[in-house]
Structure 1
């Protein structure tokens, strides 16, 4: 293995140690004394934020990894949980769906049969006021136009599914555009409009470059249509399919076995039909002297002191988490430092209006390191560690894909160390599942022998990374 890569990887792991163990990484103005003075009690904590803030169908809960910081420049993690309101006893909303099935030659046999069986199951779940179009693509595209799911039409849909056969290449762009056209014909009549795309391969016909395909999904989203994507097998482009779900504000799923497609179709229908919010955007307003380090695992747009993160559409009970690293400068001991303002803006589907929810987070400056340790937020520490581990997991997957197995395992070992350190703050049970995930990934990387084994390990790791970043409800 390249020794330089190993040393750099180890250095990166050690740089995180102070943060995870409980002391924000200080880059300037070191504390002069770590010994507490018996005659000088610590300053009081700033008022904690409310457990959750909600003015509509979404609740926002925010916290800092370190509500106490030492003088100087420190890295602090902001974690924000957003949860869709439960609506007990509510009747699910009618949906306008297009199911887009890859029927290219690589889907022949078991995969296509399972896709057809899952599609038939989806039809049985529909209600009379739902609408479904069925699109299947190879080199060309064929469609059953969108129909109300009356008993007679459901029978017609099932018969149409029976007639799908494998043929040709993989023209994903044509399939997406055909699905959009079918949904568009009734879009204004429905509150929920959604495409569900299934593919097992790389795009080989139509638009094949990733930029053009992503733009297709972005354009579909601007029409108020959500896109979910499901990758089957080991040959599809997981980064592209994940991007479809992200840009389309939908969900992403990876299935090694097409036999589980019915379960994912059912989940996606349930999520679509219980939507409570769309056009969701989380903003960080950074005061003077506070700098953004990074938003982990999300695409962020920065304009001046405002950082905006676009999120998925939300269904009832769905939770998504955003973790951001900010650089906070504390100067005067006893001074409360304003870390960030938070604003959550979205279209509330329950109230049928735009809603904004806001809160602020602040930290107290102290020269007593014991207070930094004692007041550290255990949950936020675990969340931050998961998000940082997700970055390593993505790097590990890419290294494994390129044949650099030892480098990939090194990233997993860094994660194991990070979670051990987080356990010293939050307790071993808080990270037991995370440690098990890292151990399983390490073992899988060691055993991966064939190309299929490697591809499976890569896709599993990247799916797990999405969840660890905080995409909890939008990753199947």
Structure 2
């Protein structure tokens, strides 16, 4: 690592450490102010529960950066009873899928057919330069046999026309969308779009339009050649899940997992809203798309299945005034369509911080869980930077970002406990080792994709990242 990179990495690491630990703006010790400590807020009016907390329930007078963490959890449905699904599986059968990959994709599709019942509907689409498909059919015994025969006839051929595959999958799902509460496309690809629509923005617009009509899109990338940023974007804009598989032999388990998630759905059209009081400024929502209008920040979230958990971490700047007073930090609203109630639902909560002049009180009251969650989200930013640097051949810079994360987690461990971050530290060390061993295009590509998947989970996309 050259001196410039080392200096920048160290400076950034120290800045992140100070932010996570809340070290700025702390006054000298002062007699304790007897106040009731703010507590995590929980709210649930339907199939989703929202639990929110502050990294620093106590702050000092003046401007302070802190983190808001919000966990959203889908209700556990006894037995996770399946809801009938209207599904299209869209399989890349371009030349690069030839041999083992296509064999495994066909095996996964056969396995998926075997999991369906007469109340489910399945369309099978495969694309190369052109697109061929078996229109959606109820998965009756006779139709399942027809589907299996169709899968057997899929062959590898041509380029990669992802856009045409998505359009075909959507048309088949849309034909029966009104008869189902769960409509979903599972897209599989091992490469870059080379034919038809090839630019990322236009392909993403296709997914946005599909989602606008109530159809969810999940994306699965296989191997080391596909565009992971594009496929992750498909899942994000499509409100579905993203998976990366280096080995196509795991496809059957991922198809099954996505079917389980789709068929135990409890909420769709989920959006989390932050209402910022005057004087509170949003720094960023880490790892999620967000839009701000006035003092309202909206964060769209994926569809939720039974037991699914997603976490949102946001950094805000708050101004504390008089010691002993409370400062409103944010109002929260979770809005969604509750599939168990067949109705729209909203839940609300609010978070506030107490102002104190005592340094030791700020540190003693720091929320241990929220500190760890915030550290993971900040580490995910570094992982994305590391992946990009590695892809561009700047291995030492990439390793520097990962080493910053080790500093962050050690500092968070001093607040929470070493055990609370032990797995995180081990993960960072594993990334460093992988970077050391990445010596050719394939191993670098795999390391980049694994790092970006780790980043998604660290941001809080726990249930929507396979």
Query: Which TM-score applies when normalising by structure 1?
Result: 0.97
Of 109, 115, 120, 2:105 maps to 115
SS at match of 1:267: helix
Which residue pairs with 2:39 in the alignment?
48
2:334 paired with 1:340: no
2:6 paired with 1:25: no
Within-5 A mapping of 1:228-377: 228-377=218-367
Deviation of 1:8 (Å): 1.4
Distance across 2 between alignment mates of 1:69 and 1:382: 18
Deviation of 1:163 (Å): 0.3
Which residue pairs with 1:130 in the alignment?
120
Which residue pairs with 2:429 in the alignment?
439
SS at match of 1:101: strand
Of 139, 157, 170, 2:147 maps to 157
Gaps of 5+ in 2: none
Deviation string 1:102-153 (CA, Å, 9 cap, x unpaired) is 0000000000000000000000000111000000000000000100000010
SS at match of 1:207: coil
Distance across 1 between alignment mates of 2:444 and 2:87: 34
SS at match of 2:219: strand
Deviation of 1:47 (Å): 4.3
SS at match of 1:438: helix
Of 207, 221, 237, 1:217 maps to 207
SS at match of 2:78: coil
2:6 paired with 1:3: no
Distance across 1 between alignment mates of 2:82 and 2:161: 33
Which residue pairs with 2:30 in the alignment?
36
2:73 paired with 1:83: yes
Q: Is contact 1:94–1:192 with CA below 8 Å preserved after alignment?
A: yes
Deviation string 1:69-117 (CA, Å, 9 cap, x unpaired) is 0111111100000000111145310000000000000000000000000
Distance across 2 between alignment mates of 1:395 and 1:373: 30
Distance across 2 between alignment mates of 1:377 and 1:238: 34
Deviation of 1:2 (Å): 4.2
Gaps of 5+ in 1: none
Q: Is contact 2:40–2:54 with CA below 8 Å preserved after alignment?
A: no
Of 170, 174, 194, 1:180 maps to 170
Deviation string 1:152-201 (CA, Å, 9 cap, x unpaired) is 10011001000000000000000000000000110000000000000000
Deviation string 1:199-241 (CA, Å, 9 cap, x unpaired) is 0000000110000000000000001000000000000000000
Deviation of 1:257 (Å): 0.2
Distance across 1 between alignment mates of 2:397 and 2:214: 43
Which residue pairs with 2:94 in the alignment?
104
Q: Is contact 2:183–2:214 with CA below 8 Å preserved after alignment?
A: yes
SS at match of 2:146: helix
Q: Is contact 1:96–1:183 with CA below 8 Å preserved after alignment?
A: yes
Which residue pairs with 2:405 in the alignment?
415
Distance across 2 between alignment mates of 1:255 and 1:265: 12
Distance across 1 between alignment mates of 2:168 and 2:49: 36
Deviation of 1:9 (Å): 1.7
Distance across 1 between alignment mates of 2:428 and 2:186: 31
Distance across 2 between alignment mates of 1:92 and 1:333: 53
Deviation of 1:351 (Å): 0.6
SS at match of 1:345: strand
Deviation of 1:15 (Å): 1.1
Deviation string 1:319-339 (CA, Å, 9 cap, x unpaired) is 000000000110111110000
Deviation string 1:236-292 (CA, Å, 9 cap, x unpaired) is 000000000000000000000000000000000000000000000000000000000
SS at match of 1:170: coil
* RMSD, aligned α-carbons: 1.0
Q: Is contact 2:38–2:353 with CA below 8 Å preserved after alignment?
A: no
Of 55, 62, 71, 2:61 maps to 71
2:392 paired with 1:392: no
Q: Is contact 2:327–2:352 with CA below 8 Å preserved after alignment?
A: yes
Distance across 1 between alignment mates of 2:341 and 2:383: 40
SS at match of 1:351: coil
Q: Is contact 2:22–2:65 with CA below 8 Å preserved after alignment?
A: no
Distance across 2 between alignment mates of 1:208 and 1:423: 45
Which residue pairs with 1:456 in the alignment?
446
Distance across 2 between alignment mates of 1:205 and 1:256: 24
